[in-house]
Amino acid sequence: MSGAHAMREEAPRGRSRRWRRVRRTLLPAVLVVSGVLASAAASATLSDKAPAPTELEQHLQDQIDAMRAAGLPASDPKVRALQATLDQMRATSRIRPQRDPQGDAGALLAEAGEQQADPRAAAAEAAAEGEPLWESGPVDCEPVPGLLSADELAGATCVSVPQPDGTSRFVALGADGVARIVLFGADGHVQRLPDTRLPAGLAPGTAVTPTPQGDLELAPPGRQPTFLDLR
Amino acid sequence: MAMRPTRWLATVLCVVTIGTAAGCHRSDIYTTNSYYMARTSPADATALGCYSSGKAGWMTLFFGAPTSVNGVAGATAWGAPDLDVNAIGQSVIDFVKGYAYCRPDSSYRLLIGIGTSNSVADSKADDWLYNHGQAWATMVRNVAGVVNANWPSAAQVFGAYDFEPNWSSPWKANHWMTGYNATPGRPSLFANAAADGCPTQTANNGPCDNGWNQGWVWHLGWEIDAALPFPQIYATSGVNARQWQLIDLWATTAAGDGMFFFGTMSQLGACQQAGGCPGLDNTPHQAWDFLTSWLGSDPRTQQGVIDGMTDIRWNT
């Protein structure tokens, strides 16, 4: 090897040594930065990737697909509405759910538990607080699905009569002189009670008033009141 | 939508593969309960939401007939004190609160309809019904906003309308529905409807009870943009499903706009609470099977996917 060659070769070696020193200095930093960048990129990739659809999301997608397959265009108002529902579902499914953002669910559930344990006391307490569980007095005559039909309510006068035990009676006093009664329980129990014929019918102008005992006072104009036992 | 050549393929394949339609039902998690809301206090509604926390999918909370409470639109809640729309909205918010608090799986989500009906609508003026529909839609929209802001992954909120021919004339129901539909930003509305007295053999716009016909039921249950049909399939004979299939067939052949059903509603739970209602107590699966089967009886009405199954109960 000649000296010239040696010099020519030295220079690169010198640059190389310097480069190696630079590399020794920079490499860890580069690696750290690269690692951070790679991690960030990977994280971004992961977070950008849509999560697998929930079963409910898949149901809605199936529904939309079926509507489209049936010939409804994407612009159809119902397809758009369902798509908007699905889009909202997907957009919010990645939000970390807050179990109780208003901070009162536990207390309300505890209160419900107390009411369930003692419906009578709960009804009394609610009434005392001015927020009774049941209406007392005249109410709109409306069908009670499966229990009291629109035909039976034709021309009737309807009254809600709370009971001391925390239940209630929805009473339809028919123009035909028959009282039709539905019991609303505090435990999920709803029942049509036997019809009762009013002894003297229901004279025009009769005042109907629930009593504290859970009966119904019927006071025709100018006559003694009678009482309908609803218990 | 004159023909539907492919929508029924999924069900056919499922039935062929599994052997029975019952095997093709969704998981029971998606068979929800809906409720007649006769108890609506914050504690009651929160507890009901918690009780519903093992379910996901479509359901409705019904608040009774439309009424006014001190001049504000509301509903009767049967024997309970009448509620204005503000109280009704709060009750639904409380329900969602309980649901979100108790649900065992954060992927569960309810699609909740806030419901009223055409009950006693004949006693109301046309304008009153239109305005009530608008007030209801505004409330539903606002509640949807509150729920989306506080419990975005737990529930989405819609309107609901239980219209039944026996309960009012079609014009009265139409006034309410038109008011709802015309409200800016209104969410869709579940048509949890009955087809009282509608034809069981023919699809020629035949008469239903009380001045209705197949066209009226179709108009309110489907033609109105907001409406998503969830028919009441109560009769164990299957006749309700047959009635709806014929309404759909008339709509497909005569109106050129057949229906698409989003789910079925049964009332087994309410029947059990009330001591039974023989002949009208389909299970949710029976209701779904009847509708699927009758729709599939004619290629023009076949529908492969009926998503929802809900069974109504009383919340007392």
Tell me, yes or no, if B50 comes closer than 8 A to chain A by beta carbon. Answer: yes
| In a domain? residue A189 | yes
Segment A117-130 shows an average pLDDT of 84
**Taking 70 as the threshold, does the pLDDT of residue B218 lie above it?**
yes
A224 compared with A12, residue with greater pLDDT: A224
Question: Do A157 and A210 reside in the same domain of the chain?
Answer: yes
Q: Which residues of A touch B47 (CB under 8 A)?
A: 108-109, 112-113, 116
Q: How confident is the model at residue B24 (pLDDT cuts 50, 70, 90)?
A: low
> In chain A, pLDDT over 70 holds for what percent of residues?
78
Question: Do A39 and A83 reside in the same domain of the chain?
Answer: no
Q: Using one digit for the tens of pLDDT, what is the confidence trace for A144-202?
A: 998 999 999 989 999 999 998 889 999 999 988 999 999 998 778 899 999 999 877 78
Q: How confident is the model at residue A11 (pLDDT cuts 50, 70, 90)?
A: very low
Structure confidence at residue A21 (pLDDT): 41
Cβ atoms < 10 Å from Cβ of A14: 10
| In a domain? residue A106 | no
Least CA distance to B188: which residue of chain A?
Answer: A81
| In a domain? residue A129 | no
Question: Do A224 and A164 reside in the same domain of the chain?
Answer: yes
Structure confidence at residue B177 (pLDDT): 98
Interface of B with A in 92-131 (CB under 8 A): 94, 97-98, 100-102, 106-109, 111, 119-120
Give how many domains chain B has, as a whole number. Answer: 1
Tell me, yes or no, if B18 comes closer than 8 A to chain A by beta carbon. Answer: no
Q: How confident is the model at residue A120 (pLDDT cuts 50, 70, 90)?
A: confident
DSSP letters, A31-44, are: HHHHHHHHHHHHHH
Cβ–Cβ below 8 Å for A149 and B271: no
Structure confidence at residue A52 (pLDDT): 82
Using DSSP, state whether A171 is helix, strand or coil: strand
Interface of B with A in 168-197 (CB under 8 A): 187-188
| In a domain? residue B130 | yes
Structure confidence at residue B173 (pLDDT): 98
Q: Using one digit for the tens of pLDDT, what is the confidence trace for A41-74?
A: 444 444 456 678 899 999 999 999 999 998 999 9
Question: Do A149 and A83 reside in the same domain of the chain?
Answer: no
Structure confidence at residue B315 (pLDDT): 93
| In a domain? residue B19 | no
Instruction: Using CB atoms, pick whichever of A60, A98, A189 lies closest to residue B316.
Output: A189
Instruction: Using CB atoms, pick whichever of B78, B81, B98 lies closest to residue A109.
Output: B98
| In a domain? residue A157 | yes
Instruction: Tell me the C-alpha distance between A59 and B56, whole Å.
Output: 11
| In a domain? residue A88 | yes
Question: Do A31 and A73 reside in the same domain of the chain?
Answer: no
Question: Do A85 and A16 reside in the same domain of the chain?
Answer: no
Tell me, yes or no, if A46 comes closer than 8 A to chain B by beta carbon. Answer: no
Structure confidence at residue B21 (pLDDT): 55
Enter the pTM of the model.
0.86
Chain B: give the shortest CA distance to residue A115, in Å: 9
Segment B40-67 shows an average pLDDT of 96
Q: What is the domain extent for residue B217?
A: 27-315
| Pairing mode, strands B31-37 and B57-62 | parallel
Segment B258-284 shows an average pLDDT of 96
Instruction: Tell me the C-alpha distance between B91 and B33, whole Å.
Output: 17
**Taking 70 as the threshold, does the pLDDT of residue B18 lie above it?**
no
Cβ–Cβ below 8 Å for B43 and A108: yes
Instruction: Using CB atoms, pick whichever of A56, A115, A191 lies closest to residue B43.
Output: A115
Give how many domains chain A has, as a whole number. Answer: 3
Q: Using one digit for the tens of pLDDT, what is the confidence trace for B146-185?
A: 999 999 999 999 999 999 999 999 999 999 999 999 999 9
Question: Do A212 and A154 reside in the same domain of the chain?
Answer: yes
Question: Do A156 and A203 reside in the same domain of the chain?
Answer: yes
| In a domain? residue A142 | yes
> In chain A, pLDDT over 90 holds for what percent of residues?
48
Instruction: Tell me the C-alpha distance between A169 and A192, whole Å.
Output: 10
Instruction: Tell me the C-alpha distance between B303 and A67, whole Å.
Output: 9
* Residue B127 belongs to domain with CATH number: 3.20.20
Question: Do A38 and A67 reside in the same domain of the chain?
Answer: no
In 3D space, the residue among B179, B89, B69 whose CA is nearest the CA of residue B139 turns out to be: B89
Query: What's chain B's average pLDDT?
Result: 92
Q: What is the domain extent for residue A175?
A: 134-228
Full 3-state SS string of chain B: CCCCCCCCHHHHHHHHHHCCCHHHCCCHHHEEEEEEECCCCHHHHHHHHHHCCCCCEEEEEECCCEEEECCEEEECCCCCCCEEHHHHHHHHHHHHHHHHHHCCCCCCCEEEEEEEECCCHHHCCHHHHHHHHHHHHHHHHHHHHHHHHHCCCCEEEEEEEECCHHHCCHHHHHHHHHHHHCCCCCCCEEECCCCCCCCCCCCCCCECHHHCEHHHHHHHHHHCCCEEECCECCCCCCHHHHHHHHHHHHHHHHHCCCCCCCEEEECHHHHHHCCCCCCCCCCHHHHHHHHHHHHCCCCCCCCCCCCEEEEEEEEC
Q: Which residues of B touch A192 (CB under 8 A)?
A: 274-275
In 3D space, the residue among B231, B250, B226, B249 whose CA is nearest the CA of residue B241 turns out to be: B231
What is the complex's ipTM, to 2 decimals? 0.89
Structure confidence at residue A50 (pLDDT): 65
